[in-house]
Each structure stands twice: as structure tokens, then as C-alpha cells.
């Protein structure tokens, strides 16, 4: 019997919803729909220290905004649930125990201190292999069980082959091999009882009936471990499909990073990119429609999709191209539709009523409102007029751009983005550096609003929203680097 095609997107909710997640979700979605199968959403939140409660919600909202609706998931349920890994602890422990019983995995009692010492020694000896030295691999099962029963902490490790080569077939790339000596006896269960990504991911893919694992190329090095897990359990292997990574439009075509490109899906929504543009654009990153067609819908892509149409070249995430494509969609819209879009993004009572109190005192006529508030509506700003003021005479371009970069990083990890927090961040950075407050506040004002005078700084930054503000700070950091030292 052939299995029903099932794919999945398995994000870890550790931050803002990422363009890379949407890109991989898109290919999973399209492949499943093309084959009359199902597309699942699974939340991989086993690393509780890195997971954020708001992130899961934002990921779901963004995927829905793009039209990549899932058939099974934490909110809509399904036969193989729960779909949040933090709710599946027991399942992973059970499965780890199966592997211990089969002698495919073992308890490792080495403490972090012992492991650190081993590593030091390996370094001293100039060992080529830096992995775990497998000290616990041959402990007798009865002894191991007794030590565990006595309360000694342990991890569970997978027995990897010691020599030879691991080979697996990738649907796009053919056979991929890796010398086994490079592969560690992977930890499956950590000493706190939580599973690692590798165990949880494979167990869930199997139990959820995933037939095709379509994911980013960065997971290729881990795949031999996953293949080994499937073998150890005696399960049927999924088809492996590793998509090329999105890249920055820089000289080295480095992996897409927030420093060079906004990576949050929310940003694109807030600068007025249509969801259908973003889907089309992400599709172009890894897929050729044929006949040089560049503009197509999700349904059109689904109709013609096959793995042969995926291209492996490093796809460059080029904002200019995205904006150009958005223009094509925009011109096709009726004026009525467009009017709705314009109003729903910024020209609505909700948004305007946040801005009005900030400029009320400074207005003399109603029309002043427009002139005083343009930066609340812009995407990027033009620094050609006031940009120089981002650099106080007392500071170098390097110092100033470092400050902006640091501010953007701090905003990235803020859980509550609001004016009090922003005030704390920027005052804190001035204090840490021993700078005058105005050496920070004026440049930040210019970076965020491109004007010497603006409504209250931090309130205005709050209303503009973290997406555009951190983009502006990063753009400002770039701009300042082009200024001469004064």
C-alpha cells in the first residue's frame, strides 16, 4: 500500500517568524498539495531556554497570512497529536528506552566536567576526532540499569558506526556520504530528561507519518544520524530533500542574516509587501516555473510543481527584486482593493489614533499632521539630508555604527517592545559607554526618523514598531560607515 504523502514544517519558536521558515513551509505545502497529501505544522519547542511564548503565535499568524494553511497542527489538532514537542516528553523517553533495550543506544554517565576534561586532553594530543570518546558505550546493561536506578544522572546516546561511511540519498543531490569517524554518538536524551532535536524530530516524523522531509540544506550534516535512528527503530525512511539556503545579496553570498536583510516575515507585511508577492518571491528562490515565467500564484506553482524544477544554486534574497515583483501585483489590483490595502495597513483609525497624541501639541493646522508624521508611514528613510547628524563630532563612524548595531540586537531580543524598554536600552548604552545622553539620542532620532525634531523619541519608536525601527537602525549603521571621520 502506498502511504499518503505527508510533509511538515517544524519551526522552533525562538524568535520572530523567519523568511526561511516560510520558504521551507512553502515547498512542503506545495509538494503535499500537488500530491493530494497533507501538510503539518509541528512546533519544536524542546529547548525551553530558547523558546518564546509569543513566537509560536507569530509563526502561525505569518504562515496563515501567506496562505500556507496546515492540515494538522497544535491549534487544529489531528490524529497524530499533540503537535507541540513539549507535550510529547513521555513518547521520547519511551522511544529512547526501546533503543536502550535493543542495544542501539546506551546510558552515558559522564558528567560535564569529565567531558570537558576529555576535550582538553584531545586538544592537547592533537586528536583529529573531537567527539565523545565512548567511555560508557560498553557498560554492561545490568550495571547501567543499576546505576540509573540508584539515581545517578545520565544522558542517552545513540550508537553510531565507528568506521566506514554513512550514505543517504537526497532527492535533489543524489548520494551524500560522510565518514563515520566524524559522527559522534549523538545524545538523544539530555540529563534533564528532555530529548534532543534529533530524537524528537525523527520519532515525530515517523509517528506523524511524514513521507518527505523537505528542509534546509544546513541539516545535511545531521541526516546520517537521522538515517541511523530510522534503522535502529526499523522504520521506513522518508524521502530526504534538502533545499538550498537563502543568501544575502553580498559578495560572498553568505547565509541570509538579519544584519544584511530583514528576516522577519512581519517586517515585509509592515512595509506593504503583499502576501502573494512574498510567496511568489520565495518560490523563485528555489524553483523555476519554466519558460522564464517569474510571476505566478501559489495555485499555479502547485499545478506544475515537481522536484526536478528545484534549482540548487544559492538563491539570493534581493529586496529590489521583491519590491519590483510587488509592483507587478500592485498594478493588477483594482483601485478599490488597493484602497482597502492602504487603509488597512496604516491609514486607519487605530494606527492614526496612536500617532495623533504624539503630535497634537505641535500642530497648528490639521494639515500639519501630514508633515509631522511622514516617517510613521515610510519603509526606509532617506538619510542624504540629515544623515550626517547621526555622527556627533565627538564620535567616530565606527563607534556610532557599533552603537546602532548593538541597539538593533537588543531590540531583537526584547520580549516587550515599548517606549519604557527603549528608553532603558538607549540610556543604558549611553551610560555603559560614558557618553552624554544627547550623543545617543540625537543620532538615534535621525536614524529612526531622519529629522532633527520629532515627536517624543521613544513613544514614536514604539508606534513605528520594532520591525521598521531595527531595520532603520541597521541601515543607519551602514550609512554611518560611509561617512568620513570628522
Shortest Cβ distance from residue 256 to ligand GLU (Å)? Answer: 14
Nearest distance, CB of residue 160 and ligand GLU, angstroms: 18
CB of 12 or CB of 211, closer to ligand GLU: 12
**Site size for ligand GLU, by CB under 6 A?**
7
The 442-471 contact track toward ligand GLU, x by CB under 6 A, reads: ------------------------------
d(Cα 32, Cα 239) in Å, to the nearest integer? 13
Composition of the chain by helix, strand, coil, percent to 5: 50, 10, 40
Backbone angles phi, psi at 378, to 5 degrees: -75, 160
Taking alpha carbons only, the member of 126, 238, 117, 240 closest to residue 172 is 240
Q: How far apart are CA 74 and CA 64, in angstroms?
A: 14
Helices 319-332, 275-286: axis angle to 10 degrees equals 130
Listed ranges 8-16, 131-139, 266-274, 289-297: which one lies at the site for ligand GLU (CB under 6 A): 8-16
Q: Grid coordinates 523537505 are at which residue?
A: 214
Q: Which of 5, 6, 10, 264 binds ligand GLU (CB under 6 A)?
A: 10
The binding track of 122-151 with respect to ligand GLU, each residue x by CB under 6 A or -, is ------------------------------
Regarding 246 and contact with ligand GLU (CB under 6 A), the answer is: no
State yes or no: is 398 an active-site residue: no
Closest CB to ligand GLU among 225 and 395?
A: 225
Burial string for 174-194 (b: 16+ CB within 10 Å, else e) reads eebebeeeebebbbbbbeeeb
Q: Closer CB to ligand GLU, residue 51 or residue 480?
A: 51
**Quick one: which H or E segment has residue 174?**
strand 174-179
Nearer to ligand GLU among residue 23 and residue 404 (C-beta) = 23
Q: Which three cell numbers stand for residue 442?
A: 540625537
- Site stretch for ligand GLU (CB under 6 A), options 7-15, 86-94, 273-281, 296-304: 7-15
Shortest distance in whole angstroms from residue 11 CB to ligand GLU:
5
Tell me if 131 sits within 8 A of 184, measured CB to CB: yes
Binding mask 173-212 for ligand GLU (x = CB under 6 A): ----------------------------x-----------
Residue 233 contacts ligand GLU per CB under 6 A: no
146 phi/psi in degrees, rounded to 5 = -65, -45
Q: End-to-end CA distance of the chain: give it in Å, rounded.
A: 74
Nearer to ligand GLU, 144 or 201 (CB): 201
Q: Checking DSSP bridges between strand 239-243 and strand 212-216, what pairing results, if any?
A: parallel
C-alpha–C-alpha distance, residues 200 and 188, integer Å: 8
| 47 vs 71 by CB, closer to ligand GLU | 47
The Cα 456–Cα 340 span in angstroms is: 30
Q: Indicate whether 12 belongs to the interface with ligand GLU (CB under 6 A).
A: yes
User: Which C-beta is closer to ligand GLU: that of 215 or that of 269?
Assistant: 215
For residue 47, the minimal CB distance to ligand GLU (Å) is 9
219 lines the binding site for ligand GLU (CB under 6 A): yes
- Options 11, 209, 224, 387; binder of ligand GLU; rule CB under 6 A: 11
Distance of closest approach, residue 184 Cβ to ligand GLU, in angstroms: 18
Q: Measure the CA–CA gap between 112 and 134, rounded to whole angstroms.
A: 14
Among residues 226, 93, 234, which one has the least CA distance to residue 160? Answer: 226
Q: Which residue among 33, 38, 258, 466 is the active-site one?
A: 258
Q: Is residue 106 helix, strand or coil?
A: strand
Choosing from 16, 44, 185, 459, the residue that interacts with ligand GLU (CB under 6 A) is 44
2: Cβ contacts below 8 Å, ≥ 6 apart: none
Residue of 88, 215, 466, 468 that binds ligand GLU (CB under 6 A): 215
Which part of the chain contacts ligand GLU (CB under 6 A), choosing from 6-14, 74-82, 88-96, 459-467?
6-14
Residue entry with cell 515583483? 325
The CA distances from residue 35 to 58, 205, 206, in Å, are: 28, 18, 19
Q: Verify binding: residue 19, ligand GLU, rule CB under 6 A.
A: no
Residue with smaller CB distance to ligand GLU, 188 or 448: 188
Question: Cα dihedral sign for 354, 360, 361, 363?
Answer: positive
Q: List active site positions.
A: 258
Give contact residues for ligand GLU (rule: CB under 6 A): 10-12, 44, 201, 215, 219
Amino acid at each position: 500500500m502506498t502511504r499518503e504523502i505527508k510533509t511538515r514544517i517544524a519551526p522552533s519558536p525562538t524568535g520572530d517568524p523567519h523568511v526561511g521558515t516560510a520558504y521551507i513551509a512553502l515547498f512542503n505545502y506545495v509538494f503535499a498539495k500537488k500530491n493530494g497529501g497533507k501538510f503539518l505544522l509541528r512546533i519544536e519547542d524542546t529547548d525551553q531556554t530558547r523558546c518564546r511564548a509569543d513566537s509560536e503565535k507569530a509563526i502561525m499568524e505569518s504562515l496563515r497570512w501567506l496562505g500556507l494553511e496546515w492540515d494538522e497542527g497544535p491549534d487544529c489538532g489531528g490524529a497524530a497529536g499533540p503537535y507541540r514537542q513539549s507535550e510529547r516528553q513521555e513518547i521520547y523517553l519511551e522511544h529512547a528506552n526501546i533503543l536502550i533495550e535493543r542495544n542501539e543506544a546506551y546510558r552515558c554517565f559522564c558528567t560535564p566536567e569529565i567531558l570537558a576534561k576529555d576535550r582538553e586532553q584531545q586538544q592537547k594530543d592533537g586528536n583529529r576526532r573531537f567527539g565523545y570518546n565512548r567511555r560508557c558505550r560498553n557498560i554492561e546493561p545490568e550495571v547501567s540499569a543499576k546505576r540509573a536506578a540508584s539515581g545517578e544522572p545520565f544522558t542517552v546516546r545513540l550508537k553510531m558506526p565507528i568506521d566506514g561511511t554513512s550514505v543517504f540519498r537526497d532527492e535533489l543531490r543524489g548520494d551524500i556520504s560522510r565518514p563515520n569517524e566524524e559522527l559522534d554518538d549523538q545524545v538523544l536524551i539530555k540529563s534533564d530528561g528532555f530529548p534532543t532535536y534529533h530524537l524528537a524530530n525523527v520519532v515525530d516524523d515517523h509517528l506523524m507519518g511524514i513521507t518527505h522531509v523537505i528542509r534546509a540544506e544546513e541539516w545535511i550534516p545531521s541526516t546520517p544520524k537521522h538515517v541511523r535512528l530510522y534503522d535502529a527503530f526499523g522504520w521506513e525512511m522518508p524521502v530526504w530533500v534538502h533545499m538550498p539556503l537563502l543568501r544575502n545579496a553580498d559578495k560572498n553570498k553568505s547565509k541570509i542574516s538579519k544584519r544584511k536583510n530583514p528576516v522577519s516575515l512581519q517586517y515585509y507585511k509592515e512595509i506593504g509587501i503583499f502576501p502573494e508577492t512574498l510567496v511568489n518571491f520565495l518560490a523563485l528562490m528555489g524553483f523555476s516555473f519554466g519558460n522564464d515565467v517569474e510571476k505566478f500564484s501559489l495555485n499555479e506553482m502547485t499545478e506544475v510543481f515537481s522536484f526536478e524544477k528545484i534549482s540548487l544554486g544559492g538563491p539570493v534574497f534581493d529586496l529590489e527584486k521583491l519590491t519590483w515583483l510587488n509592483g507587478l501585483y500592485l498594478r493588477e489590483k483594482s483601485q478599490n482593493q488597493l484602497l482597502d490595502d492602504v487603509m488597512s495597513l496604516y491609514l486607519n483609525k487605530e494606527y492614526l489614533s496612536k500617532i495623533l497624541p504624539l503630535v497634537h501639541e505641535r500642530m497648528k493646522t490639521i494639515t500639519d499632521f501630514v508633515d509631522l508624521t511622514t516617517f510613521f508611514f515610510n519603509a526606509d528613510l532617506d538619510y542624504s539630508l540629515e544623515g550626517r547628524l547621526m555622527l556627533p563630532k565627538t564620535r567616530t563612524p565606527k563607534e556610532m555604527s557599533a552603537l546602532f548595531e548593538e541597539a538593533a540586537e537588543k531590540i531583537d531580543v526584547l520580549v516587550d517592545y515599548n517606549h519604557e524598554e527603549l528608553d532603558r536600552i538607549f540610556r543604558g548604552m549611553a551610560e555603559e559607554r560614558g557618553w552624554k545622553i544627547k550623543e545617543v539620542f540625537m543620532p538615534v532620532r535621525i536614524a529612526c526618523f531622519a529629522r532633527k525634531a520629532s515627536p517624543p523619541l521613544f513613544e514614536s519608536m514604539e508606534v513605528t514598531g520594532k520591525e521598521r525601527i531595527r531595520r532603520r537602525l541597521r541601515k543607519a549603521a551602514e550609512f554611518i560607515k560611509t561617512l568620513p571621520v570628522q
